Chains A and B, each alone.
Chain A
Amino acid sequence: MLLHITNKKDRLAVLGMIILLLLTFIAILAPYIAPYDPVELNLTQRLLSPSIKHLLGTDSVGRDILSRIIYGTRISLMIAVIVVIIEVFFGVVVGTAAGYFGRAVDEIIMRLADILLAFPGIILALVIAGLLGSSIMNLIIALTSVGWVRYARVVRGSILSIKKEGFIESARAIGCSNLRIASRHILPNIISPVIVLATLNMGTIIISIAGLSFLGLGVQPPTPEWGIMLNEGKPFMESAPHLMIFPGLMIMITVLAFNFLGDGLRDILDMRINDIVEY
């Protein structure tokens, strides 16, 4: 599927894919490729500019920025993947239930979804993370508590359109169980919109993680995380701008890669842009 590199978008998708593979390797191999311990302080080596010894320089307490960025890849990708998995799980279960059973179940679930969607996602996440206190666990709770709704809607929409085509009725007529219908007939049809949504969503989630951490409501410092690094670098904007430039660059590249891939996938899987308006 990805081998049809005919137009520009597909090429960007492949580029996104390559960047993401690279980032995944960096995340997995972090302990082997990071030149220094990301949390070890060295008070004699503070605020150094990039050099051979410290390729991206050091921060305000002498930690190696490159090493922190490498470990940061791990943290960001890990949290984002967990969040997406949870969201997809709840979204698919709830969306399938709504679409499959229809009527009252559908009505209740979708009104609940409406209520949740009435809250701007980032504000709700901000309030939840802020009130629960900052930790990775609470960050995941904050992000997933609203995030699943969008999946539920997309899944429900796809199921409704499958239902119209009528082959669920035929399957039921030949005596397939609910579970079999779900796994054989429904899942394959909802999988592509979910994949596209998840890919594009990864970018948004990574920005949210960094954003909340930047506000001090996300991951705990001294954890090497990009948003925290930005926040810690902010005071030294004039004297040592590299402290805030590199982590931000990393966030941008990662998000861009997910968007390249997601955009390409959306075209390949032929989905209309209006189906998923990303924010």
Chain B
Amino acid sequence: MILTRKFAVLFVIICMAFTSGIVAANPLDKDRQVMVMGAQKDFRAAAEGKLLVFDTFVSLDESGNMVPKLASSWKISPDGKEWTLFLRRGVKYHDGTPFNARAAKFTIERAMTSAVWGKYVDAIKIVDSHTLKVVFNTFYYPFLRDMSSGWRAANFVSPSAVDPAWDPKGKIVRYIGTGPFKVVDYKRDRGATLVRNNDYWGKKPKLTKILWKYTPDPYAQILALKAGELDIIGAPEHHSSIPFIKLAELEADPDFVVSTHSYGRFQVLEFNCRRPPFDDVRVRKAFNCIIDRQKMVRSLFGNITEPSYLITDPKFIWGPSNITTGYKYDPVQARNLLTKAGWVDSDGNGILDKDGKDFEVDLLVPTGEANADMVALVVQSQLKSMGIRLNIRTLINAWDKRKTGEYDLFLHHSGCLPSIPGGIGIGGKYHSKGWPYAFHSDKLDTLIESAFTSLDKVQMRARCDEIWTLLHNANPCIPLYDIIKAVVMNKRVQGFKHGPTMFDMDLTEVVMTR
């Protein structure tokens, strides 16, 4: 009797072992659709995290066209001053508060407390329960676009989750939005737990849970990914948070999948165009000819990214699609241009000089730019071969120097979505209200100011063409390569898709396999 009991127990154990073995062979992990996501920012500090919890009025597609989200459609009056938003019906915040015109008004008012366009708004009128009219005192083209970005997304918080409730200036108490995931737990500088919003108005994700783990150091992230502590890294960051040089290594590893995506953001070196030597367009042009981007990119990053030859990605709706020939590597032309500009090696010390002064320029690198250290070194060595001395200065306060103009070259990036790309907006890089020491001209200012003042798309495009031609010829910067966004995940994660902007990720189809 006792013996049979023992056998029975053994039998059960063996059965369990078998079934678990069978389950292991089944690729889909039915019970645990939980993904552990490594993030270099605290959950509340990251735009990417907000977009998982909050929906915005619209989102953008890859080229910058607006796609309906909480606003199912919108209308702009012919003079551009009246925006009518038709809101999606049947949407509820995670706490059950209905999303309607009153809530949307609260959101816009909340955004106005910090947004530049706040002062352009005259009135917000509730037309009916799901229609809202925003009256501007001027035509402000980027309004909805601005509202769609990740760093404004927290404005779409439930009005009852701020303190005091319904006060646009109130403090956010809990992260309650309308998005596909709900926050159930948040620990500062440690992480957050998100669960699926089963009442989501759109397509529900398959994942039931996301664990957001704060892992500030990219190398620590990679080690943790390898140790199996994380499933996916790089997804909740803007562009190149994982150093490119590590990507090749990870790509070669059969345990991981590396997925890269271009958001049309280029690494560029901005010139200080307001003082010698770069106040001379010939010298700027020469520099664009000296840099061998192809060699730089291939030797440093292999095939992970591509060199770039234009100021801004032409794929954007208002991008430089009219420019057909980009800057290119041409040392002979560079030499000619430099000689014409008066830079020759007259004292035979291997360094070009003019009026008795050696050609020596400063490159400012803001601390924390991924890949920048190595890129700067390559630029330095390529310039050296042309007889130009480059001093690299990596500074925490590089931003201040940008304002005071204490630089010759500044490592930066080109503009991309959701703003109007390429610094061609008012206050953007190349408008005189933008970077004080970037390239400016009165003509350019006038063009930029008039570009987005009418609703006529043909006219807008024509003005953009004119802006890009002028800018391209002015050589305001040295575009280097595409700062791609790289996401690395283990084999359990399947169905990951990059989002339309670099603040987004598309987790709808993600499933965890065994």
Contacts and interface: CB of A to CB of B under 8 A. Distances in A.
Q: Do A and B bind each other?
A: yes
> Which of A135, A222, A232 is the most central at the interface, judged by chain B CB atoms within 10 Å of its CB?
A222
A137 to B, nearest CB: 12
Contact of A60 (B374, B381, B394): B374
A178 interface: no
A41 B219 contact: no
A221 B378 contact: no
Contacts of A134: 367, 394-396
Contacts of B381: 40-41
Contacts of A239: 249
A62 to B, nearest CB: 9
Interface string A198-239: 000000000000000000110011100000000010110111
B395 A234 contact: no
A43 B300 contact: yes
A61 B219 contact: no
Interface residues of A, number: 22
Nearest to B382: A41
Interface string B220-250: 0001000000000000000000010110010
Given A134-B396, A237-B219, A43 B378 contact: yes
A133 interface: yes
A134 B396 CA distance: 7
B245 A235 contact: yes
Contacts of A41: 377-378, 381
B7 to A, nearest CB: 49
B392 interface: yes
Contacts of A237: 219, 223
A220 B218 CA distance: 21
A220 B378 contact: no
A217 B396 contact: yes
Interface string A1-44: 00000000000000000000000000000000000000011011
A220 B363 CA distance: 12
Interface string A102-130: 00000000000000000000000000001
B303 interface: no
Contacts of B392: 220-222
Given A235-B245, A237-B219, A239-B249, A61 B396 contact: no
Contacts of B219: 234-235, 237
Interface in B379-434: 380-381, 392-397
Nearest to A44: B299
A61 B377 contact: yes
Contacts of B378: 41, 43, 61
B245 A43 contact: no
A222 B377 contact: yes
Interface residues of B, number: 23
A91 B459 CA distance: 71
Nearest to B218: A235
A216 B372 CA distance: 13
B279 interface: no
B381 to A, nearest CB: 5
A179 B219 CA distance: 58
A234 B373 CA distance: 14
Contact of B374 (A61, A217, A238): A61
B389 to A, nearest CB: 12
Contact of A235 (B246, B300, B368, B394): B246
B307 to A, nearest CB: 15
Nearest to A235: B219
Nearest to B380: A222
Given A41-B378, A235-B243, A133 B373 contact: no
Nearest to B398: A133
Contacts of A43: 299-300, 378
Given A60-B245, A216-B367, A232 B395 contact: no
A232 B218 CA distance: 13
Contact of B394 (A61, A216, A234): A216
A73 to B, nearest CB: 22
B354 to A, nearest CB: 25
A184 to B, nearest CB: 48
Interface in A56-77: 60-61
A55 to B, nearest CB: 22
Contacts of A130: 396
Interface string B88-113: 00000000000000000000000000
Nearest to B368: A216
Interface in A186-200: none
23 contacts: A41-B377, A41-B378, A43-B299, A43-B300, A43-B378, A44-B299, A60-B374, A133-B396, A134-B367, A134-B395, A134-B396, A216-B367, A216-B368, A221-B392, A222-B377, A232-B373, A235-B218, A235-B219, A235-B243, A235-B245, A237-B219, A237-B223, A239-B249
Interface of B: 218-219, 223, 243, 245-246, 249, 299-300, 367-368, 373-374, 377-378, 380-381, 392-397
8 nearest A-B pairs in the assembled complex, by CB-CB distance: A43-B299, A133-B395, A133-B397, A41-B381, A235-B219, A61-B377, A216-B367, A41-B377
Given A130-B396, A133-B397, 10 more contacts: A43-B299, A44-B299, A131-B397, A133-B395, A135-B393, A216-B367, A220-B394, A222-B377, A235-B243, A237-B219
